[in-house]
Amino acid sequence: MTSFEHPPYSDYDVVIGLEVHCQLLTTHKLFSAAANMTADAARPNQHVAHFEQALPGQLPVLNPEAVKLAVTAGLALDCHVNLTSVFERKHYFYPDLPKGYQITQQARPVCAQGQLSIPDSNVSVRIARIQIEEDAAKSTHDDRRGRRIDLNRASVPLIEIVTEPDMSSADEAVEFLKELHLIVRTLQVCSGNMEDGAFRCDANVSVKKRGSSSLGERCELKNINSFKFIRDAIEFEARRQIDILEAGGRITMQTRSYDAALGQTTLMRDKENAPDYRFMPEPDLPALTLSTAYVEELRAHLPELPAARRVRYVRQLGLSHQDTSIISSNLALASYFDQASALCASPQTLANWVLNEMTLVLSEQGASFESCPVSPAYMARFADLVSEDVINSKLAKKLLRLMVKHPECTPEHLLEAHHLVVIRDEDVLQALVSQVIEGNSVQVAQYRAGKEALLGYFVGQLMKLSQGKADPVVGKALLMKELTTLD
């Protein structure tokens, strides 16, 4: 079990809650027929309907695909699905929101009361709610042309996953986010692309005297889109708040951004409360009503989740915890491994070669397991050849590179065509041993005079002569017999 190190904050505890925004992988936007293509858009403001422009008379029409993905995420996070949920208007004035309000769910969200355990730890984080809402437009500042608004992102479907303040260190928060990131990608709910803002996080950070039951005033760190920056921002903010309290000051609720170049959080504005947003029921959308049958149908089709996959790897396949963690954290690798292991008699041997040599070869070629040229079936057969001692480690490395170069060929064909089979025939090996003895008379005399450490030298000469194909166990035995036989 992982034991998270809490930074040495003297007499203070750090309290962290997260609000995670996940753009949903729908074909269309949340309330219009415009294409949901934020990162792939050819040019700004290309995928925009009248609704996103807030033209008069344009009404929202809820995208059922977004509802399906939101409920799927809720079920995976062990949430209670509310069969009736309500949309509301959250009012604020900003250039990225032409309507002057965001349609979201606050009081009665689609999912609530879930939980997610951080892997290899005893930390379980409660999920307060999951709400469906629309994204705002993308606002950028150009020193030459001023602020620019791209409406491609406006009304892109989001789920906002809000946790309770159950994390007490930046490391806990990051590990929670990594597991959540893996889950939404496994579900194909969200691409998880943090660079494009498809998966981004707000962190609510406060500090309190160690052991106190009273929470301190919190500050919200907005729209952080990298695990490293999340860790750095939380650690800086916790230290900043403690320094203020230690100097006799007080913390005021604020919304802050993280400046990665400076490595610090900076003030954006005073923190708003719910009354500031003037929440009101969305008059143009009826309550979202789901049936129990609909929810159970989605539950029945949930894929294997990362936690269950890790358990299966350890209990059924006998993998080490370290290999399990590495494989399950990469969806393309996990999919490739699952296909290969289903056909392989030695999953641990398969894992060893996939994680080490195959990963190295793909990296050298600038490829990945998403485009691995070697089929899972051929990789499974390769692992079996290694585990059955048909081929040794040195020859196996050569074979694997040949398989990448000639993916249409079976491993057995390549073994035969390139003469990579281990030599175990004693008559063939005896002939090679005799050549080694005859070509190293000085060393033979030294060995027979008592310098037995030279045995390794003779084995090396045998392997060199056989181009690495000699069975070292059989070869060593024949060498010892020959070296101890007096002429």
pLDDT in tens, 287-319: 999 999 999 999 999 999 999 999 999 999 999
**Angle subtended by helix axes 321-328 and 306-315, to nearest 10:** 150
Tell me how crowded residue 122 is: count the other CB atoms within 10 A of its CB.
10
Tokens of 426: 């004693």
Pairing of strands 111-117, 124-134: antiparallel
**Residues forming beta bridges with residue 234, ordered by sequence position:** none
Closest of 200, 207, 222 to residue 268, by C-alpha: 222
Task: Give the per-residue pLDDT at 146.
Answer: 76
pTM, full prediction: 0.85
Residues of the chain with pLDDT under 50: none
CATH 1.20.58.220 fits 426-483, yes or no: no
User: Which distant-in-sequence residues (6+ apart) come within 8 Å of 423 by Cβ?
Assistant: 429, 432, 466, 469, 470, 471
Residue ranges covered by each domain of the chain? 12-297, 304-417, 426-483
Mean pLDDT of the chain: 90
Rg of the Cα atoms in the chain? 31
Helix, strand or coil, per DSSP, at residue 219: strand
Task: Give the per-residue pLDDT at 248.
Answer: 93
Task: Give the per-residue pLDDT at 9.
Answer: 65
Task: Give the per-residue pLDDT at 212.
Answer: 87
Alpha-helical runs (H) found in 151-226: 170-186
Task: Give the per-residue pLDDT at 7.
Answer: 60
Query: DSSP code of 470?
Result: B
pLDDT in tens, 173-204: 999 999 999 999 999 999 999 998 999 999 99
| In contact, 185 and 72? CB cutoff 8 Å | no
Task: Give the per-residue pLDDT at 203.
Answer: 97
**Torsion angle of alpha carbons 44, 46, 47, 53, nearest 10°?**
80
